[in-house]
Chain A
């Protein structure tokens, strides 16, 4: 067993609509693996099939060596899931959620209390652990859900949009928490996200998903390196003229306008900024602003799908 999760042409169709189209995913042991794509790309459907919530229309998948259809129960025993939507009961306390989960997943009585205490320690609910969930903040609820997914020591933790709807500071906390978790526990994390920054920061490997298909999968650094491009974003008073002239420069690999800005793909962009400004001046074009960006996953996404991730919805 080389990979902890492996799918073979897994497909989910709803009538005429194909939500997930022949996806082949290979997730290495103990990695943090990200499925990145816009809303509606099929990420949740894919993850739901891996969690045995949905049955694939075609194809197959194994999780921890078990087939998601034939050995659904064994798969369920080896995974922890944090759903995109909340799955908490307002009138139970945080501790009760963990106790209930431990019992449902058959955590042995002897170690149960210890596990729950460990998890409570990890998710830092403090003295809120014994209060009703309805008094929790959004971040606490999410931490509780992640913690609950860990009580039975799963081999794989599925996180569906773990930081959706959280404020930036809480988001950072969750990120920190996921990294810490991946380092300290023998666990593989498969997460979906449409936040580029999140995938970039957390994931060892990223699969870019769009319209039901995986377009490209690799480590974020490789994906970015492959673009061989820094982006210079420049704003000038006469965009059309500038594009026409600059297209002919040999160090410009690609030039296009986006809104009122011009994007220029180059290599080693830091050396080219002075040249570009001089070039504009020579052509009587006034540069209003100029900015250099090393490629990020957003650019990778755009280069593979032709649309930005936020437009994809």
Chain B
């Protein structure tokens, strides 16, 4: 079982790195709390959403902010392969006698672990925004966060496979991360939008993640749950597959 052991090894390293950079864990929890407490309270009291947001605006964005946390962590951890490359460590992994898909899969589940840990911390803080948490909601949300984060990690890894340096970081922020976040319906309901915006919203894979989380946590959403879950699973599978393909293809350039 050398491949499985290889996947495990790469996962282990990713997880160790996450746990050892303590400041990263702290910021990854503080940032969403700022969104929830300041943005959520502020906008929630300034704007009336026609009374169709049960539990208030803060509760409405709570699943969205969980999605945002997963998005930021997963994409940036994926992109951090560029740093591995600059430090030369990627070579050590790429010359090992294990297949590229195993490397990518190990990376993706390692990144997913980090993202899901942050998601769990946020789930445990649900009382802050007055959302009632039950073991079933907790478990279902946890299971759902896994494919969401794996898919987004795949996006990050894919970007890393054709980016040379961290100079492209701002571009990734402007053209990938922020649009995905803003279009996902994390901050506003996705129904009743202008047609063009509506289309963009439904092209954003994170929309389905946020909507599914919202249905599980708050009990309402815009898309049937089974469709959202299917889209997320397919998205995760495709992203891991494509980034593995790209790593295979660009292997020479990456070392």
Residues A76 and B95 in contact, CB atoms below 8 Å apart: yes
List A contacts of B226 (CB < 8 A).
none
List B contacts of A55 (CB < 8 A).
252
Chain A interface bracket (under 10, 10 to 19, 20 to 34, 35 or more): 20 to 34
Q: Given A53-B91, A83-B88, A87-B88, A103 and B97 touching (CB < 8 A)?
A: no
Complex: A88 Cα to B5 Cα, angstroms: 20
Residues B87 and A77 in contact, CB atoms below 8 Å apart: no
Complex: A51 Cα to B84 Cα, angstroms: 20
Residues B252 and A92 in contact, CB atoms below 8 Å apart: no
Complex: A36 Cα to B9 Cα, angstroms: 36
Residues A104 and B16 in contact, CB atoms below 8 Å apart: no
Q: Say yes or no for A215: interface residue by CB 8 A criterion.
A: no
Q: Say yes or no for B35: interface residue by CB 8 A criterion.
A: no
B89 to chain A, nearest CB (A): 5
- Which of B5, B91, B92, B94 sits near A101, CB closer than 8 Å? B92
Residues A106 and B9 in contact, CB atoms below 8 Å apart: no
Complex: A11 Cα to B84 Cα, angstroms: 29
Q: Say yes or no for A86: interface residue by CB 8 A criterion.
A: yes
List B contacts of A124 (CB < 8 A).
none
Q: Say yes or no for A252: interface residue by CB 8 A criterion.
A: no
Residues A76 and B5 in contact, CB atoms below 8 Å apart: no
List A contacts of B13 (CB < 8 A).
89, 92, 96, 100
Q: Say yes or no for A81: interface residue by CB 8 A criterion.
A: yes
Residues B97 and A76 in contact, CB atoms below 8 Å apart: yes
User: Closest residue of chain A to B3, judged by CB?
Assistant: A106
List A contacts of B95 (CB < 8 A).
51-53, 76, 81
How many residues from B make CB contacts under 8 Å with A? Answer: 25
Q: Say yes or no for B132: interface residue by CB 8 A criterion.
A: no
B18 to chain A, nearest CB (A): 10
Q: Say yes or no for B93: interface residue by CB 8 A criterion.
A: yes
B247 to chain A, nearest CB (A): 14
Residues A87 and B252 in contact, CB atoms below 8 Å apart: no
Q: Say yes or no for B2: interface residue by CB 8 A criterion.
A: yes
Most chain A beta-carbon neighbours within 10 Å: one of B8, B13, B87, B95: B95
Residues B97 and A89 in contact, CB atoms below 8 Å apart: no
- Which of B5, B6, B91 sits near A87, CB closer than 8 Å? B91
Residues B6 and A96 in contact, CB atoms below 8 Å apart: no
Q: Say yes or no for A85: interface residue by CB 8 A criterion.
A: yes
Most chain A beta-carbon neighbours within 10 Å: one of B6, B21, B96: B96
User: Closest residue of chain B to A103, judged by CB?
Assistant: B9
Q: Say yes or no for B242: interface residue by CB 8 A criterion.
A: no
Q: Say yes or no for A91: interface residue by CB 8 A criterion.
A: yes
Residues B88 and A86 in contact, CB atoms below 8 Å apart: yes
Complex: A91 Cα to B20 Cα, angstroms: 7
List B contacts of A92 (CB < 8 A).
13, 16-17
Residues A53 and B9 in contact, CB atoms below 8 Å apart: no
A191 to chain B, nearest CB (A): 17
Q: A53-B95, A89-B87, A92-B16 are in contact. List 12 more A-B contacts (CB 8 A).
A: A53-B91, A87-B88, A87-B91, A88-B88, A89-B13, A89-B84, A89-B89, A90-B87, A91-B21, A103-B6, A105-B96, A148-B92
